[in-house]
C-alpha cells in the first residue's frame, strides 16, 4: 500500500517552493544571463528534490520518474525542432533584407500614436489566420519590434502588444493546436468552443486595444529626423526592394493552405536564404569574413546566417542591435531550458505531487464562481509546475471534466475556462516553454514584457468576472 501513498499538498509544494526560491536568487544574481545555465540548474535541482521525496518518503520507483520525464521530453520534441528552424528563419529573414524592408516601410506608414494598437491588431489578424502565436511572433513580430524601437517605444510595450495580439489568435483560431486540444480534451465541439470563447475573449481584446490606444496617444513621438536616420542607414546597408516581399507572401499562402508549421517555416527560411544570395551578397561575404571570396564566401556567409549569430556594422549602435541575429545556435539555451523544465514536470507527475496539489483546487467547486475560479487557479498553477501549456490543458480538462458534469454545466464552460487560464498565461512564465520561446525570439526578458501583455493578464480575470455575472452560463438540460 505504501507504493500508492500520495504525498500531502504541503509536501508536494516543497519542490515548487525550492524552484521558486532558487529562480529568484538566480535571476537576481545573473539577471538576463540566468537562461545561460543558472535557471537550468535550478530546474534540475528542484527535479532532484522531487525525486528524493518520492523515492525516499513514498517508495516511488525510479523507473516511474524516468518514464514520465522521457514522455514529457518526447512530447515537446516537435516544438524543439520548430525552435531550431525559427532560429534559422530569423537570421535568414533579417540578412536577406525581408525584416529591414518591412521596418523601412513600416516606420513611414504606421503613425507612432497608433503603433501599439496597430501592432496588437496586426498580430491578432495574422495569428487567427495562422493559428500559431509562435509563427506570428517569429515573423511579423520581429519586424514590428524593429519598427517600435525606431519610433522610440520601450521593448516591454512593444513585446506586450505583439504577444497580446498573437495569443488572441492562438486562443480562438480553429487552426490553433491549443484551441483544438482544449475542445477535444473536454469533449466540446470545436466551433461551439470558439463561439463560447468569444464571450470572454472579445471584451478582453477590446480593453487591451483601449489601453494600447491611450498609451500610444500619450507617447511622445520620435522626431522625423530620427526616423529618417533609421531609413537612411537601413537603405545604405541593405538592398531594400519590394521583391523581398515575395518571402512573407509565399509564407502567408502556405499558412492559408494549412501546410504544417515545420514545412512552412523551412520553406520560408530556404526562400529567404536564396533571396539573401540574390539581393545581399555583400552582407553574406561580410559575415564570412576576410579572405573568403566568390561562391565559397556566399556559402560560408549563408551557413553562418542560418546557424550562428551575426553582428553587422552600420555606424549606429541602435540599428546594430536591431539587425543582429542569433540563428539556430541562439536557440540552444532555450532548448536546454525546455528539456530541464520537462524533467521537473515529469518528476512532479510521477511523484504524485501534481495531483495532490491540484486536488486542493477541486475542494472549492461547490458553486459556479468557485468552480470557475478553481479551474483558473489550477490552470495557472499547472503552467507554473509543468512548464508546458499542452500538459496543463490536458491535466486541467481531465481533472475538472467530471466535476462540471456532476454540477450540470456544459463542457464548453470548462473548455473556455481552460483556455482563459492556460493558453494565454503560458508566455508570462519565464520557465514555461512559451515564455522561454517568446523571450528568446523577441530578445526581451519575460518579466520585462509581462506587465504590458494586457490581453494575457485580463483573460483569466474576465473568465472569473463572467462567472460572477453568470452571463450565458447555463446548466445542461436533462434529457
Q: What is the pLDDT of residues 147-166, one digit of tens each?
A: 888 888 899 999 999 999 99
As a whole number of angstroms, the distance between CA 399 and CA 402 comes to 7
User: Are 26 and 317 spatial neighbours (Cβ–Cβ below 8 Å)?
Assistant: no
Strand partners, 61: none
- pLDDT band at residue 226 under the 50/70/90 scheme: low
Alpha carbon distances (Å) from 438 to 3, 13, 93, 135, 229? 40, 28, 17, 10, 29
pLDDT digits (tens, 9 = 90+) for 239-250: 888 899 899 889
C-alpha cell at 158: 512593444
Q: How many C-alpha atoms does 55 have within 13 Å on its Cβ side? A: 13
**What is the structure's pLDDT at 478?**
45
As a whole number of angstroms, the distance between CA 108 and CA 305 comes to 28
* Long-range contacts at 230-234 (CB < 8 A, ≥ 24 apart): 230/103, 230/107, 230/150, 230/319, 231/104, 231/107, 231/108, 233/314, 233/315, 233/316, 233/319, 234/100, 234/103, 234/104, 234/319
As a whole number of angstroms, the distance between CA 349 and CA 57 comes to 16
- pLDDT band at residue 469 under the 50/70/90 scheme: very high
Closest to 362 (Cα-Cα) out of 386, 388, 382, 336: 382
- Under DSSP, the state recorded for 420 is I
Q: How many C-alpha atoms does 136 have within 13 Å on its Cβ side? A: 28
Q: Which residue has the cell 486542493?
A: 360
C-alpha cell at 185: 480534451
List all residues 6 or more positions away from 116 whose beta carbon is below 8 Å from its beta carbon: 148, 153, 157, 158, 161, 212, 213, 215, 216, 219
User: Are 396 and 422 spatial neighbours (Cβ–Cβ below 8 Å)?
Assistant: yes
- pLDDT band at residue 140 under the 50/70/90 scheme: confident
As a whole number of angstroms, the distance between CA 93 and CA 235 comes to 16
Closest to 434 (Cα-Cα) out of 134, 139, 169: 134
Calculate the CA 109 to chain-centre distance: 28
CA dihedral 136, 137, 141, 146 (to 10 degrees): -150
What's the average model confidence in pLDDT over 77-99? 83
**What is the structure's pLDDT at 456?**
96
Q: Greater confidence, 380 or 261? A: 380
**What is the structure's pLDDT at 162?**
95
| CA 308, 444, 23, 375 torsion-angle sign | negative
| CA 233, 97, 329, 429 torsion-angle sign | positive
* Averaged pLDDT score across all residues of the chain: 84
Q: Which residue has the cell 487591451?
A: 208
Amino acid at each position: 500500500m505504501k507504493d500508492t501513498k500520495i504525498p500531502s499538498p504541503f509536501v508536494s509544494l516543497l519542490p515548487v517552493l525550492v524552484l521558486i526560491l532558487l529562480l529568484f536568487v538566480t535571476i537576481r544574481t545573473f539577471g538576463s544571463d540566468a537562461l545561460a545555465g543558472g535557471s537550468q540548474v535550478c530546474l534540475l535541482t528542484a527535479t532532484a528534490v522531487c525525486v528524493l521525496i518520492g523515492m525516499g518518503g513514498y517508495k516511488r520507483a525510479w523507473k516511474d520518474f524516468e518514464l514520465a520525464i522521457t514522455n514529457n521530453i518526447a512530447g515537446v520534441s516537435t516544438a524543439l525542432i520548430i525552435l531550431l528552424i525559427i532560429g534559422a528563419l530569423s537570421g535568414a529573414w533579417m540578412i536577406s533584407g525581408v525584416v529591414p524592408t518591412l521596418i523601412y516601410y513600416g516606420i513611414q506608414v504606421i503613425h507612432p500614436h497608433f503603433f501599439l494598437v496597430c501592432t496588437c491588431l496586426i498580430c491578432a489578424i495574422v495569428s487567427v489566420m495562422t493559428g500559431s502565436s509562435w509563427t506570428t511572433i517569429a515573423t511579423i513580430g520581429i519586424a514590428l519590434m524593429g519598427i517600435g524601437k525606431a519610433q522610440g517605444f520601450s521593448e516591454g510595450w512593444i513585446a506586450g502588444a505583439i504577444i497580446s495580439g498573437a495569443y488572441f489568435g492562438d486562443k480562438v483560431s480553429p487552426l490553433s493546436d491549443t484551441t483544438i486540444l482544449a475542445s477535444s480534451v473536454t469533449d466540446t465541439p470545436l466551433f461551439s468552443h470558439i463561439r463560447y470563447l468569444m464571450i470572454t475573449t472579445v471584451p478582453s481584446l477590446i480593453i487591451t486595444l483601449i489601453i494600447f490606444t491611450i498609451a500610444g496617444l500619450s507617447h511622445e513621438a520620435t522626431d522625423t529626423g530620427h526616423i529618417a536616420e533609421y531609413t537612411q542607414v537601413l537603405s545604405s546597408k541593405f538592398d531594400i526592394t519590394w521583391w523581398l516581399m515575395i518571402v512573407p507572401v509565399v509564407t502567408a499562402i502556405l499558412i492559408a493552405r494549412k501546410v504544417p508549421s515545420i514545412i512552412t517555416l523551412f520553406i520560408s527560411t530556404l526562400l529567404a536564404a536564396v533571396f539573401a544570395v540574390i539581393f545581399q551578397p555583400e552582407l553574406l561575404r561580410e559575415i564570412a569574413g576576410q579572405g573568403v571570396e566568390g561562391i565559397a564566401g556566399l556559402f560560408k556567409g549563408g551557413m553562418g546566417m542560418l546557424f550562428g549569430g551575426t553582428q553587422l556594422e552600420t555606424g549606429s549602435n541602435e540599428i546594430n542591435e536591431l539587425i543582429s541575429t542569433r540563428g539556430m545556435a541562439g536557440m540552444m539555451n532555450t532548448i536546454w531550458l525546455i528539456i530541464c523544465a520537462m524533467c521537473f514536470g515529469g518528476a512532479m507527475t510521477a511523484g504524485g505531487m501534481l495531483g495532490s496539489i491540484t486536488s486542493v483546487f477541486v475542494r472549492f467547486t461547490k458553486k459556479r464562481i468557485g468552480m470557475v475560479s478553481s479551474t483558473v487557479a489550477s490552470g495557472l498553477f499547472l503552467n507554473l509546475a509543468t512548464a508546458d501549456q499542452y500538459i496543463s490543458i490536458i491535466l486541467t480538462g481531465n481533472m475538472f471534466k467530471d466535476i462540471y458534469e456532476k454540477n450540470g454545466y456544459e463542457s464548453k464552460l470548462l473548455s473556455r475556462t481552460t483556455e482563459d487560464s492556460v493558453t494565454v498565461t503560458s508566455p508570462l512564465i519565464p520557465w514555461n516553454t512559451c515564455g522561454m520561446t517568446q523571450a528568446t525570439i523577441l530578445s526581451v526578458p519575460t518579466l520585462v514584457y509581462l506587465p504590458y501583455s494586457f490581453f494575457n493578464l485580463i483573460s483569466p480575470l474576465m473568465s472569473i468576472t463572467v462567472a460572477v455575472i453568470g452571463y450565458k452560463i447555463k446548466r445542461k438540460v436533462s434529457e
